[in-house]
Amino acid sequence: MAFVPLGAASACGQAATVLTLAYGDVFLIGMVKPMEPVASAVLLLIFFGECVHPVKYAAIATIVTGVAMCSADHVAVRDVCARRMSRLRMQVGARISITRHDMNEHLRLQQYLAEAFCLDIRLRPFPTVSNMPSTRQRNTVLAAAATVSAGALTFVAPPSTPSAARIEPGVAASHAANSQPQGSFGAATAGAAVLAAGCAVRTTAKGKGQRKAVKVAAVATDTEVETDCINSIRFLAVDAVNKANSGHPGAPMGQAPIGYLLFAEEMAYNPKDSTWCNRDRFVLSSGHGCMLQYSLLHLAGYDSVAMDDLKQFRQWGSKTPGHPENFETDGIEVTTGPLGMGISNAVGLAAAEAHLAAAYNKPDFTLIDHYTYTIAGDGCMQEGISHEACAYAGHLGLGKLIAFYDDNGITIDGHTDLSFTEDVGKRFEAYGWQVLVVDNGDKDVDAIRKAIAEAKACTDKPTLIKVKTTIGFGSPNKADSHDAHGAPLGADEAEATRKQLGWNYGEFEVPDHVYAAFKKQADAGAEKQAAWDKLFAAYKEKEPELAAQFERAVLNRKLPDNWDECLPKLTEEDKGKATRLHSQDCLNAIAPVLPEFMGGSADLAPSNMTLMKCTGDFLKDSYSERNFRFGIREFGMGAVCNALSLDKTGIIPYCATFTIFTDYMRSAIRIAALSQAGTIFVTTHDSIAVGEDGPTHQPIETIPSLRLIPDLTVMRPADGNETAGAYKYAVERSKNESRPTMMAFSRQALPNLPNSSIENTLKGAYEVVECADPELIIIGTGSEVHICIDAAKSMDQKVRVVSMPSVEVFRAQPDSYKEGLLPKGVPTLSVEAACTSGWGEFSTGQVGINVFGASAPGGTCLEKFGFTAENVKACGEKCLKGETGVLSDGTQGKH
């Protein structure tokens, strides 16, 4: 160990001591005497850089940034520093731990530093890595560096043992926060901005993909306006949550710089037309922090969020509900709140962009070319759905997807150390993403700006920008703690936060220049849309056919006239087959007619029969194709498909799996219904007739439980015509109403029924065996209808057999029709190879299965559990005798 702080007094010495105690064998620094804060920053940042060996550049760059940042507020000091540095020729001999030995890099860095700050820094690389500090240690040092570089001379005294020598990042960060008003780190000087842009973003070598020239958005706003914009966002969140006495202020306070950059500098959007097809998309995946989004929409000029709406946050009937709802608030793309769902939706939005661009763009006519941005927090990163969807996005190489990870280290329970210590960056690198790191997302706006430019420059990979932020940034007593997560700051703390951030405006007060800054961007968006309109007019001339298709499918979101004529129609004489095969016929009939029809299966295409033969696979190099290969990622698949619909570009998405595994994507199905996404959920193997795979694969409660979801239509067709009817219903409901349909198809062959038709299917239930004055009615669904017909035939009484492919559709029929089909007072037996729950609405007696199935051939399972004409007949006779309730529940099959 060699530690010689030459001439450095207070801060430098303290900082070096901390490092020495924390890590033992540190390094030798030769340091000039004056300017302790600057020196300390340099010293600490060198160490930080040393720890993060793959990013040597960034380390040195950070030094420069550190100096620049320290100097920014103190012009006089900076000048003195510069003069003295140039005179004294600071000598720094740092032990750089690197694995890859590249002297050229070092020489370049030396030169860079020498030129930038008149420094002469000699870096002597050592070939071995020893005692590489852990991530936590590095974070600690980084936080300490932030503290010192912010000029906070009060250093937390470290304990004397290395293991305990931990400065809570939050403590250090809040020192940093306390010590300096927001803004001092911004684009204070052109030099600092350039340096920060060039340096404060760290990219890992592996994350580099195909690149185009990096352009940093022009720094049009001056630092004060920028700071005021960011603080406006923060305080609108603070004030709205305080007023509602409910909500989540912490996330918006930390994410405000990201939000500002997106809505005031980066995104193309038009508040007057939120459905413009080439708008940039934004998804707040950490939906609990929705005051960020509402503040941004308000500042950007969306009529949907006036100041009064912000004051009505979370109140009955307001446009600012507790989590973002696309169907409630214009400008919100997708509904978020269930963590991990939003970032997965963002993958779907980016996939939609990739497809439409590939399908419609022509040389000189770039109709579709936009980015999808999302902000996701620790919770989103932990949820399994984000793993599924983000792995898929990496596989697809969706280069226009830019995700910010709000890395604040806090969730509801407390610090993420409690449960979440994986390296998220490495995870995303492994997925095939570019990963960038912004070390100080609270203040270093330029670094975020630069990261966005880097993200855009990488065209063949999605980018994750891991932004270290402080939850509740600016709050003296709640920042960096779970206290800021989900409770109002309260009046006193809001006041204290105002003081700390130097915010002299009152509650819900936004200075005019802030509105002006956002308006500039919104106006630019409107101009872009106007330019787009002109482009499309020219495109119509040049590409009339494609333009007509684009106009119909994408802009007007209308189905072609008589599109449904493509659907197959069958007679009773046609050979029966499994409804999953009829489904395949329908899909392949629709696919050539509707270019907006796209989707796929979670690795069950050969079982679900969901491949479209007229198109290829939607893959990295073939975005114009339409067969999605989702992999075994049901939940991610559901969220991606919901977003394909919510993109509002007319796409009709479908996704497929076994009926039983809808459980894995249930939350996506529910959100489809809630958020009005027109996803078509195709499922096959819909009952115990699955057979040999056994009870793990045999849905029992699945279909009845999906019927409980409001606004979801469940269809269980019984034959070819009913399958075609189900598709007609599902496609029209998706395209015209943007609502979801779930379909359940059989694995086993079924006969075509008398009287089945598309028209009858669209009534939800109809007489499949007619009977004018029935003594008994038997209702069947799907694969059980033909069993009911056989049972009825074997009975002496007058029996009407009703096929009910959709409970929901039948419920929506006029009362006269419903009463005519199922007259009150007539004994009615329902038969479905599923739980009997719910059937009391339509039947007096029920045949079903309220136990788990069994591993055996499908026919055997049906027979043992009571789905035979004989058992149905026997139960019908009980019904006729006045017996009610569950007459056959499958227990007879249990051995």
Ligand X SMILES: Cc1ncc(C[n+]2csc(CCOP(=O)(O)OP(=O)(O)O)c2C)c(N)n1
* 356 labeled binding residue: no
Distance (Å, whole) CA 217 – CA 261: 10
Q: 445 is in the binding site of which of ligand X, Mg ion, none (Cβ under 5 to 8 A by kind)?
A: none
Which residue, chain included where needed, has tokens 């709406």? 309
CB of 437 to Mg ion, least distance (A): 16
Kindly tell me which of 413 and 572 has the beta carbon lying closer to ligand X.
Answer: 413
Partner from ligand X, Mg ion, none contacting 324, C-beta within 5 to 8 A by type: none
Which single residue brings its beta carbon nearest to ligand X?
A: 377
Do 349 and 333 contact (CB within 8 A), yes or no? yes
| Shortest reach from residue 136's CB to Mg ion, in Å | 16
Q: Residue 869 is encoded by which pair of tokens? A: 């004409």
Closer by beta carbon to ligand X, 289 or else 638:
289
**Quick one: what does residue 776 bind among Mg ion, ligand X, none, with the CB cut-off 5 to 8 Å set by partner type?**
none
Q: What are the residues whose beta carbons fall under 8 Å from the beta carbon of 101, sequence distance 6 or more?
A: 125, 127
> How far apart are CB 350 and ligand X at their closest, in Å?
21
Rule CB under 5 A: choose which of 239, 378, 388, 596 binds Mg ion.
378
- The listed partner (Mg ion, ligand X, none) that binds 449, CB under 5 to 8 Å by sort, is none
Selected binder of Mg ion within 37, 250, 342, 377 (CB under 5 A): 377
Asked whether 827 and 844 are in contact (CB, 8 A), the reply is yes
Mark 579-608 with x for binding to Mg ion (rule: CB under 5 A) and - for no binding: ------------------------------
Which CB, 75 or 412, lies closer to ligand X? 412
Name the strand (E) or helix (H) holding 577: strand 577-578
Name the binder of 456 from Mg ion, ligand X, none, CB < 5-8 A by kind: none
The residue (of 247 and 853) whose beta carbon lies closer to ligand X is 247
Report the nearest approach of ligand X to the CB of residue 237 (Å): 11
| 311 to 287, 297, 337, 355, 691: CA distances (angstroms) | 18, 14, 21, 40, 57
349 SS3 class? helix
Handedness of CA 677, 678, 679, 684 (dihedral sign): positive
Residue 338 contact, options ligand X, Mg ion, none, Cβ 5-8 Å cut-off depending on partner type? ligand X
Q: Does 736 show up as a binding residue in the annotation?
A: no
> Which of 546, 462, 459, 438 has its CA nearest to residue 185?
438
- Least separation in angstroms between CB 360 and ligand X: 36
Question: What is the rounded distance in angstroms from the CA atom of residue 165 to the CA atom of residue 831?
Answer: 69
Helix (H), strand (E) at residue 112: helix 103-117
Least CB distance to Mg ion at residue 419 (A): 12
Strand-pairing partners, residue 599, are 627, 654
Q: How far is CA 202 from CA 421, 445, 555, in A?
A: 20, 14, 40
Judge whether 634 counts as a catalytic residue.
yes
| Residues 451, 454, 459: CA angle, nearest 5 degrees | 140
320 in contact with Mg ion (CB under 5 A): no
Q: Which does 335 bind (CB under 5 to 8 A by kind): Mg ion, ligand X, none?
A: none
416 vs 675, beta carbon nearer Mg ion: 416
Kind of pairing between the strands at 201-203 and 434-438:
antiparallel
Which residues is 824 bridged to in the sheet? none
Q: Is 834 in the site for Mg ion (CB under 5 A)?
A: no
> Going along 631-775, which residue ranges are E strands?
652-658, 680-684, 713-715, 741-745, 749-750, 766-769
Closer to ligand X by CB, 95 or 485: give it. Answer: 485
* Position with the least CB separation from Mg ion: 378
Nearest residue (CB) to ligand X, 248 versus 685: 248
Residue 699 interacts, among ligand X, Mg ion, none and using kind-specific CB cut-offs from 5 to 8 Å, with: none
Shortest approach of Mg ion to residue 237 CB, angstroms?
15
Terminal-residue alpha carbon distance, the chain: 74
Bridge partners (DSSP) listed for residue 617: 627
In this structure, what token pair is assigned to residue 61?
């760059």
Is 607 annotated to bind a ligand? Reply is yes
Confirm whether residue 19 is marked as ligand binding.
Answer: no
Structure tokens that stand for 171 in this block: 């403590």
The active-site residue out of 383, 493, 634, 877 is: 634
CB of 243: closest distance to Mg ion in angstroms?
A: 24
344 binds, among Mg ion, ligand X, none (CB under 5 to 8 A by kind): none
Is 409 one of the annotated binding-site residues? no
408 labelled binding-site residue:
yes
**Three-class DSSP labels, 838-883:** CHHHCCCEEECCCCCCCCCCHHHHHHHCCCCHHHHHHHHHHHHCCC
Q: Which is nearer to ligand X, 377 or 425 (CB)?
A: 377
628 is in an annotated binding site: no
Closest CB 469 distance from ligand X, rounded Å = 8
Find which of Mg ion, ligand X, none residue 249 binds, CB within 5 to 8 Å per kind: none
With contact defined as beta carbons under 8 Å apart, do 590 and 727 qualify? yes
Residue (of 791, 780, 776, 888) closest to 827 by Cα position: 776
Distance CA 65, CA 449 (A): 15
Has 254 been labeled as part of a binding site?
no
Q: Which region holds residue 684: left if phi is over 0, alpha if psi is between -120 and 50, else beta?
A: beta
Nearest to 204 by CA among 489, 429, 28: 429
Residue 138 known to bind ligand: no
Query: Hey, which residues between 403 and 462 contact Mg ion (CB under 5 A)?
Result: 408, 410
Is 843 annotated as a binding-site member? no
Residues near 400 by beta carbon (within 8 Å), at least 6 away in sequence: 350, 353, 354, 370, 371, 372
Asked if 484 interacts with Mg ion (CB under 5 A), we say no
Shorter beta-carbon distance to Mg ion: residue 288 or 873: 288
410 a known binding residue? yes
Please, which residue, 337 or 691, has the CB nearer to ligand X? 337
Q: Which residues bind ligand X (CB under 6 A)?
A: 248, 250-251, 286, 288-289, 337-339, 377-380, 383, 408, 410-412, 471, 485
CB 636, min distance to ligand X, A: 14
Find out whether 78 is annotated in a ligand binding site: no
CA distance 84 to 102: 31
DSSP output for 263-276:
IIII----TT-TT-
895 annotated among ligand-binding-site residues = no
Cβ distance to ligand X smaller for residue 95 or 288 = 288
Compute how many residues bind Mg ion; rule: CB under 5 A: 4
DSSP 8-state symbol, 280 = P
278-281 contact pairs (CB < 8 A, 24+): 278/367, 278/368, 278/369, 278/370, 278/528, 278/529, 278/532, 279/370, 279/525, 279/529, 280/370, 280/371, 280/372, 280/373, 281/333, 281/346, 281/349, 281/350, 281/353, 281/370, 281/371, 281/372, 281/373, 281/647
Minimum distance, C-beta of residue 422 to Mg ion, in the bound complex (Å): 14
Contact 460, 400 (CB under 8 A): no
Q: Tell me the residue ranges of DSSP E strands in 329-476.
A: 372-376, 401-407, 410-411, 414-415, 434-438, 463-468
Binding residues for substrate: 248, 485, 580, 607, 685, 693, 697, 747
Binding residues: 248, 288, 337-339, 378-379, 408, 410, 485, 580, 607, 661, 685, 693, 697, 747
Active-site positions?
634
Binding residues for thiamine diphosphate: 288, 337-339, 379, 408, 485, 661
Binding residues for Mg(2+): 378, 408, 410
Write out the residues near Mg ion by the rule CB under 5 A: 377-378, 408, 410
